[in-house]
């Protein structure tokens, strides 16, 4: 049975998990990162709050609820991709959902947020991919609310396929393991693929759209 590693904890109803297990693969799914809240006392004035990740959504809303931090009811919320938008919907309405790709998300978002104040609650070492593309067309505000760093203690068996969902997960993996002959490496998008290239990993495969459906399609096409 061929083994697949994906650097993200999957839900039981994950399309990636269900379809590939049905195809006879063994799935190992876990993040190689640790996360820690960076507390904040207030929310800066903004028209929009844009989240890059599900983790950012969870840290933000859990912290404001636990500390009775309020925000204007006029604020609208945006998610970088579908999963982040779904995470927002667990707490409030999501008014914009991006594609998960900065180059396509930024212009679409600017159609409704041009010239507005946009707050980005983010990780300390975030790539700031959307912010960099809209800085000169809107007022962007940073709010660093958590930090992530590679785990040092983890053990994985030899995998046939490696799926990385962030640059730091890729760094964590290759700090411990070397790429072995026959292994195929996949990335969630171009940013992660570039990080893998910087680590010396070539021929990285990544989808045009970062979705579990595309991941499944790519793997089955590249067995």
pLDDT confidence of residue 125:
87
Q: Residue 68 carries which DSSP code?
A: T
pLDDT computed for residue 85 by the predictor: 97
Work out the average pLDDT over 116-141: 94
pLDDT band of residue 189 (cuts 50, 70, 90) is confident
For residue 208, the model assigns a pLDDT of: 82
What's the confidence (pLDDT) of residue 84? 95
The string of DSSP letters for 177-216 reads -PPPTT-EEEESSHHHHHHHHHTT--S-B--SS--HHHHH
Q: Which two tokens stand for residue 221?
A: 């096409």
The whole-chain average pLDDT of the chain stands at 94
Average pLDDT over residues 89-116: 96
Percent of the chain with pLDDT over 90: 88
Cβ density class 11-43: b for 16+ within 10 Å, e for less: eeebebbbbbeeeebebebebbbeeeeeebeeb
How is residue 171 written in tokens?
Answer: 């760094």
Judge whether 118 and 138 are in contact, CB under 8 Å. yes
């Amino acid at each position: 049975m061929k083994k697949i590693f994906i650097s993200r904890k999957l839900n039981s109803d994950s399309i990636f998990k269900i379809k590939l297990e049905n195809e006879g693969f063994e799935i190992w799914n876990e993040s190689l990162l640790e996360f820690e809240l960076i507390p904040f006392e207030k929310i800066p004035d903004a028209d929009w709050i844009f989240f890059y990740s599900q983790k950012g959504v969870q840290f933000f809303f859990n912290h404001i609820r636990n500390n009775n931090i309020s925000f204007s009811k006029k604020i609208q919320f945006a998610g970088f991709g579908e999963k982040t938008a779904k995470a927002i919907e667990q707490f409030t309405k999501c008014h914009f959902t991006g594609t998960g790709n900065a180059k396509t998300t930024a212009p679409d978002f600017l159609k409704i947020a041009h010239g507005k104040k946009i707050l980005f609650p983010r990780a300390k070492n975030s790539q700031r991919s959307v912010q960099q593309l809209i800085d000169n067309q809107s007022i962007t505000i940073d709010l660093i609310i958590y930090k992530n760093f590679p785990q040092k203690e983890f053990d994985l068996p030899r995998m046939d396929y490696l799926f990385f969902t962030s640059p730091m997960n890729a760094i964590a993996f290759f700090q411990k393991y070397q790429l072995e002959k026959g292994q195929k490496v996949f990335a969630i998008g171009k940013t992660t693929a570039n990080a893998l290239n910087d680590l010396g990993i070539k021929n990285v495969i990544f989808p045009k759209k970062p979705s579990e459906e595309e991941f499944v399609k790519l793997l089955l096409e590249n067995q």
